[in-house]
Chains A and B, each alone.
Chain A
Amino acid sequence: MKRALLALALCGCVNDDIVLYETRVRGTVTAMATGTLHLEFHHATSFGEGPLAHPLGQFDGRVLPLMQSPYSLDETVLYPQQKGEGLVVYGWLDTDGDGVLCAVGKPAEPAGLVRVVGFPSHNVNISLLLDKQCLGSESPSF
């Protein structure tokens, strides 16, 4: 009852109306090394439509220790529905612990990207293979 009264009182006065879609992302992350896994959750496209749509758009991220490969992934994310479409998971492995992907003078670090098929769904399964050296999420090679 209180919620209904509050909703009535505030009807027409909402400032931010945010819709989040909860998704549980499960699967594996495979790499040839160990280190710190930097995971990024992106919209596949954000801002604009058709050929003018902007690719990617990070809305969440995780930093996880990856001590064994394959690593079992089980993360729940809140997907902002009004900000874009599609779901992309990108990851890179920080093998030297500097927090920077392929810093100058440092060894190459593996990265990978997967476009989630079957999204939107509250449960998705992915298989993320970190096999590309030094590629950022925006790389056209993905």
Chain B
Amino acid sequence: MMTAAVFALQAALEPVPPPEPPAPTPQVEILPLRTDPVVLDQLAGGPAKGAWGVSVQAGYPWFSLRALLGVGHRLAPLLEVESALGRRFAFSAGLSLAWVDRPHVRLSGEVLLGWMLQESELSRRGPSGELRLRLAFPVRWAVPYLVLGTRHALLPSRTQIIREAGTETQWSVRHEWTPWGSVGLGIRISQRIGLDVAADYGWVDAPASVAIPGVHLGFHFGGGR
């Protein structure tokens, strides 16, 4: 009994060892994910999920308004309105998909369906569709890009023949082909704002017609990035 009391007293009199310093808290540095500037997404297609953008491209003779929204897997539905000198209009909806997405190369394909309307001396109207390739090589603030497309429109016509026995109606459809090419330079001002300037060559009703090249200046803005 006495021994136990001595040990207890000795333990009470011993200096308390200093507490061990607390273990260092793990430091987590939050790095932003690589996001693409809107000018790249708009010019090269295939934005990331949640990224959206709107482009306004105005020039001679083409004007266009284009909106994309990334839904994942570099797939994006898009809406597009295009006009030539306020006389020819095309309203299209489609999909954009990036096939190659590397830091300095992006290649995407687009498919669009819509309606074409031309009101002038040569009025034309009918369903239209387009297949388009977009290729861009982003380097720092610059986005050189190339667009190649093949557009097709179906132009239905009606002929009524009034015979003695009655009226006969015949339908015919003419195909209008418009190959398209643009080459230009996009400029990243910020992640959400950009510009571009490009030369366009849209050969409407090829090869039966003659087309002159055009030029445009574009403004791009967006969010979700």
A interface vs B, CB < 8 Å?
A: 3, 6-7, 10, 12-22, 78, 81, 122-123
Could you give, for residues 126-148 of chain B, a 1 whenever the CB lies within 8 Å of some chain A CB and a 0 otherwise?
Answer: 11000000000000000000000
Check B160 for interface membership: any CB of A closer than 8 A. yes
Residues of B close to A13: CB separation below 8 A = 125-127, 156
Q: Which DSSP category, helix, strand, loop or mixed, fits chain A's interface?
A: mixed
Contact status B164-A18, CB under 8 Å: no
23 CB contacts below 8 A, A to B, read A3-B169, A3-B171, A6-B171, A10-B156, A10-B171, A12-B125, A13-B126, A13-B127, A15-B124, A16-B158, A17-B158, A17-B160, A18-B158, A18-B159, A18-B160, A19-B159, A19-B162, A20-B161, A20-B162, A21-B162, A22-B163, A122-B163, A122-B164
Q: CA of A18 to CA of B124 in the docked complex: distance in angstroms?
A: 14
Check B34 for interface membership: any CB of A closer than 8 A. no
Q: CA of A7 to CA of B171 in the docked complex: distance in angstroms?
A: 9
B115 CB, min distance to chain A CBs, angstroms: 8
Contact status B163-A14, CB under 8 Å: no
* Contact among A15, A22, A123 for B125, CB-based, below 8 A: A15
* Contact among B156, B161, B162, B164 for A14, CB-based, below 8 A: B156
Q: How large is the interface on B (under 10, 10 to 19, 20 to 34, 35 or more residues)?
A: 10 to 19
Residues of B close to A6: CB separation below 8 A = 171
Q: CA of A21 to CA of B159 in the docked complex: distance in angstroms?
A: 11
Contact status A14-B157, CB under 8 Å: yes
Contact status B158-A14, CB under 8 Å: yes
Residues of B close to A7: CB separation below 8 A = 171
Provided the pairs A6-B171, A20-B159 are in contact, do residues A15 and B123 lie with their beta carbons within 8 angstroms? yes
Check B104 for interface membership: any CB of A closer than 8 A. no
Residues of B close to A3: CB separation below 8 A = 169, 171
A110 CB, min distance to chain B CBs, angstroms: 33
Contact status B164-A22, CB under 8 Å: yes
Residues of A close to B164: CB separation below 8 A = 22, 122-123
Q: CA of A76 to CA of B162 in the docked complex: distance in angstroms?
A: 13
Q: CA of A22 to CA of B160 in the docked complex: distance in angstroms?
A: 10
Residues of B close to A22: CB separation below 8 A = 161-164
* Contact among B156, B160, B161, B163 for A15, CB-based, below 8 A: B156
Starting from the known contacts A22-B163, A22-B164, A78-B161, 11 additional A-B residue pairs (CB-CB under 8 Å) come to A3-B171, A10-B158, A10-B171, A13-B127, A14-B125, A14-B158, A16-B157, A18-B158, A18-B159, A19-B160, A81-B162
A140 CB, min distance to chain B CBs, angstroms: 32
Check B174 for interface membership: any CB of A closer than 8 A. yes
Check B155 for interface membership: any CB of A closer than 8 A. yes
Could you give, for residues 149-173 of chain B, a 1 whenever the CB lies within 8 Å of some chain A CB and a 0 otherwise?
Answer: 0000001111111111000010100
Chain A, residue nearest B125 (CB): A13
Q: CA of A10 to CA of B164 in the docked complex: distance in angstroms?
A: 27
Q: CA of A18 to CA of B168 in the docked complex: distance in angstroms?
A: 12
